[in-house]
Chain A
Amino acid sequence: MPLHKVACAAAVLVAVLLLAGAGAGVMAPEGPNHCLDCHTTPARLVQAVREIADSARGIPTVSTAFEGSG
């Protein structure tokens, strides 16, 4: 095989490997996004806020002593 063809094939191979490597970085595994799973599902949100409310039952979150207009 002529030398220039070997060099050309090697250059193409290197370019492909570089592009593949770059692509692998961009396409890193993201895994599941539990934020969206829950926050876009009203039923799951309702369940979660009920659990939180139950755990904090009786604990005030704001004063009840306000009087008049602010």
Chain B
Amino acid sequence: MEQLAPHEKVFVADTFVRDPYHGVMGCQECHGGDPGNPDYLTAHDGVVRDPSHPPGGSVCADCHPEIADSSRTSLHTTLAPFARLVRTRASTSPDIRASVDRARATHCSACHISCGQCHVSRPTYVGGGLMDGHVFQRKPPMRETCTACHSSRIAQEYFGHNGGTLPDVHWRERFFDCMRCHDGKEMHGDGLEPKDRYHVANAPRCEHCHLDIYGEDAPNGTQHRTHRDLVSCHVCHSQPYASCYDCHLALDDFGFRYYRSSVTVLNFKIGRNAQPTPLRPETYVLLRHVPVTSKTFAYYAKDGLSRFAALPTWKPATPHNIQRRTPQNASCNACHGNTVRFLLPGDVCPGECVANRDVVVPETMVPARVDFQAAQTGHDRGIRP
């Protein structure tokens, strides 16, 4: 996404001033500062750039108390899984753990957002800047907010920017924006503290729209019924997606944070669902290698992630590059017995075998090839859902 010019980032449009709700409030009511001071340098003393952070205690809560309250525990606000996962891998030594926590806060937890960073400005993490002259956006613009942050994976997948892949069918044919599936209720949270994004109660599921895929008369109904709760939708309908294999975090000579990740590969790996839940009951899911190694926090603490093997490095993935027809669903044996599509023990880096023991698929668990005749009769040709 192209950055805004510095003056564009702080430009306020006349249309905002005419907003009958937000526009009639004095600037200082939310941002502080001294509107009566003509010297812009001193007038900005005490100015709060984003008065909507944190959501629960922000200026937004005065008029939007329910949303502000539920947003306090939204994953976009807390990034809580980062803390839990990093701590699970971290050393138990208090000193080392404190260093790892500092690294996490500096790097991993830097991309949290607030009400304003979706509805007023671009997120700070991607450079910020007012959208549409400070006019409040009831529905955040996708490219300036959602895919601005979720860029290297989701945006690349959804818009078909990964080499050799097509845009997601929901974009290519229907131009669905993110909010079409990820609505405000999900984004604003429900006041609970989900373990991770796969435990968000009001997160979307394919079946929410594709209601009838399991019906007797449904296109490919036999296949959908056969694989229901065994295989996630993405296993059959995703294209290859990016996996990152490392990430090193540090501060430069000026004290600014940076990361370096060197290995990014497009692949497609079916693995085991290590933690089935009522929302995600499938046995087989897609897995993506997440950008972490045992040395990720080495700048801050040697052996900071001394319990690295406590969690898999291949994590459940829901690539946003859905197609109706894919190489793996072209026929039964495109997947059954096709070990290339599965994350076999030999596909895992030598130092990560223990970490991934619960998600790799031993060859004995790869579904066996099916009889060709049976495949033909069971694979009814359907029409577009």
Contacts and interface: CB of A to CB of B under 8 A. Distances in A.
A11 interface: no
Contact of A31 (B11, B36, B258): B36
A69 B260 contact: no
A19 interface: no
Given A62-B256, A64-B252, A40 B17 contact: yes
Contacts of B43: 34-35
A38 to B, nearest CB: 6
Contact of B38 (A34, A45, A64, A67): A34
B244 interface: yes
B208 to A, nearest CB: 30
B250 to A, nearest CB: 8
B259 A33 contact: no
A35 B261 contact: no
Nearest to B264: A69
A12 interface: no
A31 B261 CA distance: 53
B175 interface: no
Contacts of B37: 34
Contacts, number: 86
B6 A67 contact: no
A64 B252 CA distance: 8
A32 B38 CA distance: 9
Contacts of A39: 10-12
Contacts of B264: 68-69
A60 interface: yes
B11 A42 contact: yes
Given A35-B33, A60-B254, A68 B14 contact: no
B262 A38 contact: no
A69 B155 CA distance: 12
B35 A35 contact: yes
A46 B257 CA distance: 29
A48 interface: yes
Contacts of A42: 7, 11
A49 B261 CA distance: 34
Chain A contact patch, size range:
20 to 34
Interface string A49-63: 100110000001111
Contacts of B250: 65
A53 B260 CA distance: 28
B7 A45 contact: yes
A36 interface: yes
A45 B257 contact: no
B326 to A, nearest CB: 24
Contacts of B260: 65-68
A29 to B, nearest CB: 10
Contacts of B244: 68-69
A70 interface: yes
A67 B254 contact: no
Name which of A33, A36, A68 has the most chain B CB atoms within 10 A of its CB: A68
A68 B262 contact: yes
B27 interface: yes
A9 B257 CA distance: 75
Given A49-B7, A67-B262, A36 B27 contact: yes
A68 B259 contact: yes
A41 B274 CA distance: 57
B45 to A, nearest CB: 13
Contacts of B40: 34, 38, 48
A70 B259 contact: yes
Name which of B26, B151, B244, B254 has the most chain A CB atoms within 10 A of its CB: B254
B17 A36 contact: yes
- Ranked nearest first, the 4 interchain pairs of A and B with the lowest CB-CB distance are A68-B261, A63-B256, A45-B7, A63-B258
Interface of B: 6-7, 10-14, 17, 26-28, 33, 35-38, 40, 43, 151-152, 242, 244, 247, 250-252, 254, 256-262, 264
Interface of A: 31-36, 38-40, 42, 45-46, 48-49, 52-53, 60-70
